[in-house]
Homo-oligomer: A and B are copies of this chain.
């Protein structure tokens, strides 16, 4: 396992879905940042399901505790440790079906890799619950990015085939928290909700696409040739369970564009060099160019579905069928929106520290 990410701002995730807790260590957070448990709680709360229609997940309140790294309300330069105790856990269903490999889940790969010793309850380390640790780290990263006026913003742009109309950033900012879908297009949001409810009623699930943006990025973040901004953002985002595709700017559609169309012309605006379009998604040569970073993330439909599925009993090595019971989201896309924001924030924060833009001590 490799549960750390980031070179100078390094997060280390630990904990399991049905274990005692989930938590994260943040090493390399500059000293002098004002930080309270509430700062982090606020972000973690965004991960909670907004409506029973979308999600039937645990209703437990995830209460954040900071165990180290703060003193008198400020970060100290020592590692921050943040933790959420697990509650409200019934693992009996997982015990009963433990040898039935859930399709689309890590049951099989984890079983083989860890010799059957992995904690399978609720998916263990592979549970969506682990993303709470990403969000805790993201909350700290966002506070640091605030210091240099960088804003990270994600929203749902597609669910179950329903696409949101493109909206200008201001509308996204305003609308994203207005509906449980975290979609800036209210009309599309309504349709998405119907699609999700229908899938759920049919014992099925749907996927979607999240767009992440970052504004006011200084020019020069990214450390090519390997630690490119795209590369490290992608690595960070692929750590979110269910993400199966990533694209920046014009992304896959660039494959169908001409160079003359896809190149972003440079102009001078208010004394600054900007591009008139942003097909690059704010990144040229793996380095931020000052335009908004734009990334889109494909989220597969929740693999846990109520419908009967074909699978294998790995103990008996024989065919079997499985109905996944318990509380599962028919669509995890809305809950993944703050997670996308968090992993973007963590990555950008690390690059900003590497570039010396966020200093070792906040004054």
Contact = CB atoms under 8 A, between A and B. Distances in A.
A289 B67 CA distance: 29
B78 A199 contact: no
Contacts of A305: 259-260, 263
B285 A68 contact: no
A221 to B, nearest CB: 9
A292 interface: no
Contacts of A13: 79, 225-226
A158 B255 contact: yes
A254 interface: yes
A60 B261 CA distance: 31
Contacts of A285: 105-106, 109-110, 126, 241
A295 to B, nearest CB: 10
Interface string A345-363: 0000000001110011111
A23 B80 CA distance: 11
Interface stretch (A45-53, A165-173, A180-188, A242-250): A242-250
A216 interface: no
A326 interface: no
B115 A363 contact: yes
Given A225-B130, A226-B239, A25 B32 contact: no
A273 B31 contact: no
Contact of A78 (B119, B263, B302): B119
Interface string A293-337: 000001111111101011110100111000000000000000000
A225 B19 contact: no
Nearest to A355: B360
Given A67-B14, A314-B273, A8 B354 contact: yes
Interface residues of A, number: 150
B27 A259 contact: no
Contacts of A77: 1, 110, 113-114, 117-118
Main secondary structure of the interface of A (DSSP, over half): mixed
Given A207-B262, A310-B265, A106 B251 contact: no
Contacts of A117: 31-32, 71, 74-77, 361
Contacts of A354: 8
A235 B231 contact: yes
Given A1-B78, A205-B260, A356-B359, 18 more contacts: A2-B225, A13-B225, A16-B78, A31-B114, A31-B118, A76-B125, A77-B110, A113-B222, A126-B285, A204-B258, A207-B257, A226-B239, A231-B236, A239-B286, A260-B309, A263-B305, A273-B314, A356-B360
Interface of A: 1-5, 7-8, 10, 12-16, 19-23, 25, 27-28, 31-32, 67-69, 71, 74-81, 83, 101, 103-106, 108-110, 112-115, 117-119, 121, 124-126, 130, 158-161, 199, 203-209, 219-220, 222-228, 230-232, 234-239, 241, 243-252, 254-268, 271, 273, 275-276, 279-281, 284-289, 298-305, 307, 309-312, 314, 317-319, 354-356, 359-363
